[in-house]
Amino acid sequence: METSPKPPRVVIFGAGSVGCYLGARLMSADVDVTFVGRPRMQQVLKAHPLRATDYEGFQYEAYLSEGQYVTTPEAAAQADLVLVTVKSAATEEAGRALAEHVRPGTPVISLQNGISNAERLRSVMPGADVLAGMVPFNVLQKSPGHFHHGTEGHLMTARHSALTALLPRFIQAGLPLELRDDMLSVMWSKLLLNLNNPINALSGVPLLKELSQRDYRRCLALAQEETLALLKDAKMPLVKLTGVPMALIPKVMRLPDWLFTRLARTMLAIDPLARSSMWEDLEAGRPTEVDWINGEVVRLAGSLGQQAPINARLTELVRECEQQRRSWSGADLLRALTH
């Protein structure tokens, strides 16, 4: 009698909103998932089922088994794959915790915002196979234990031979994983889109409402144009992540509302409740990842002997909001960036 193959063991390190959503999707494909995260989330998932939904109608719900959500990294010793989803400020801490347990040859994918996290993980995990990865979509915790994927996009990661056997499971889970040889270009292309995170956080309104207002889009266009000019000087190629070529996105953002809504239907295929993770951080009183989004642009400018005043100003405004929360109208934010 044939026995079915043992399900792959995936450890998600830093299981907050994104990590819990990814884990739930993988569980729906019978992947053996262990979550490593904070005691607060552990208690939430003891009291509530883990529930994942998306804007296309996917639904999955399950109670976690005893020991499936833990707060220490020992589970990584048995992993076939480790997904790191901690906030960027905790990257080195996560890497040091994992370094003691991850077996040599086990792929460790950084699914974090920013450009430098995989490199930072490698610096403290010299024996691990650390890969840069990308989660292009937004995940919001709608209620305790319920994580909702509200925007389009699919996972990407650097190529690794051990991942090939896992690809069918990701497809079965509704999380197609594309293996790439150009992840630095992918990450800069994603960051160009993520420049909307601070604008959404400062607006205080859902993504769909924010992107439907021209003044907010003009703020985004300013940040994107500044970044595109720097990437051109750095000779960094970009990859197409939307229906619009990356170099044309700022022009599309500046279109009048009536024309934008007609030409950018795919960009507006967003759940009406979706918001950026930066908004969620501000609402929860947590430090944001602005230093790993707009701050990456400021650092790129510095490496080229240039400045990035728009992205630097957005960084300042978000930091001010970390201290004292306020919401900006599109007109006020545009004025703050241009005067």
- The domain spanning residue 154 has which CATH number? 3.40.50.720
Confidence at residue 66, expressed as pLDDT on a 0 to 100 scale: 94
Residues 133 and 151 in one domain: yes
Confidence at residue 272, expressed as pLDDT on a 0 to 100 scale: 76
Residue 249 structure tokens = 């996105």
Residues 261 and 331 in one domain: yes
Q: Domain containing 86: what range?
A: 9-180
Cα(278)–Cα(200) distance, rounded to whole angstroms? 8
Query: Which residue among 180, 202, 223 closes a domain?
Result: 180
User: What one-character-per-residue DSSP string does 309-323 give?
Assistant: HHHHHHHHHHHHHHH
Residues 247 and 129 in one domain: no
Confidence at residue 1, expressed as pLDDT on a 0 to 100 scale: 41
| Cβ(88)–Cβ(291) below 8 Å | yes
What is the reported pTM?
0.91
278: domain CATH number is 1.10.1040.10
Residues 168 and 113 in one domain: yes
Cα(276)–Cα(266) distance, rounded to whole angstroms? 17
Confidence at residue 2, expressed as pLDDT on a 0 to 100 scale: 46
Residues 172 and 244 in one domain: no
1 within domain boundaries: no
User: What one-character-per-residue DSSP string does 35-83 give?
Assistant: EE--HHHHHHHHHS-EEEEETTS-EEEEPPPTTSEESSGGGGGG-SEEE
Residue 307 structure tokens = 């400045």
Number of CB atoms found within 10 A of residue 79's CB: 24
Over the range 112-134, which residues count as b (16 or more CB within 10 Å of their CB) and which as e?
A: bbbbbbbebbbebbeebbbbbbb
| Total number of residues shown for the chain | 339
Q: How many CA atoms lie within 13 A of 315 on its CB side?
A: 16
| Cβ(279)–Cβ(322) below 8 Å | no
Residues 86 and 134 in one domain: yes
Residues 243 and 327 in one domain: yes
Residues 143 and 255 in one domain: no
Residue 99 structure tokens = 């370094």
- Give the distance, in angstroms, between the CA of residue 292 and the centroid of all CA atoms in the same chain: 11
Q: Which residues of the chain have pLDDT under 70?
A: 1-4, 266, 268-269
Residues 148 and 260 in one domain: no
212 within domain boundaries: yes
| Cβ(200)–Cβ(274) below 8 Å | no
pLDDT (tens digit, 9 = 90+) per residue, 57-104? Answer: 999 999 999 999 999 999 999 999 999 999 999 999 999 999 999 999
Query: Which residue among 147, 180, 213 closes a domain?
Result: 180
Residues 160 and 243 in one domain: no
Cα(148)–Cα(271) distance, rounded to whole angstroms? 9
Cα(12)–Cα(15) distance, rounded to whole angstroms? 6
Confidence at residue 16, expressed as pLDDT on a 0 to 100 scale: 92
2 within domain boundaries: no
- The structural domain count of the chain equals 2
> Which amino acid belongs to residue 271?
D
Cα(170)–Cα(154) distance, rounded to whole angstroms? 11
Residues 6+ apart with CB under 8 A from 153: 135, 136, 137, 241
Residues 262 and 172 in one domain: no
Confidence at residue 269, expressed as pLDDT on a 0 to 100 scale: 66
4 within domain boundaries: no
pLDDT (tens digit, 9 = 90+) per residue, 251-265? Answer: 999 999 999 888 777
Residues 146 and 284 in one domain: no
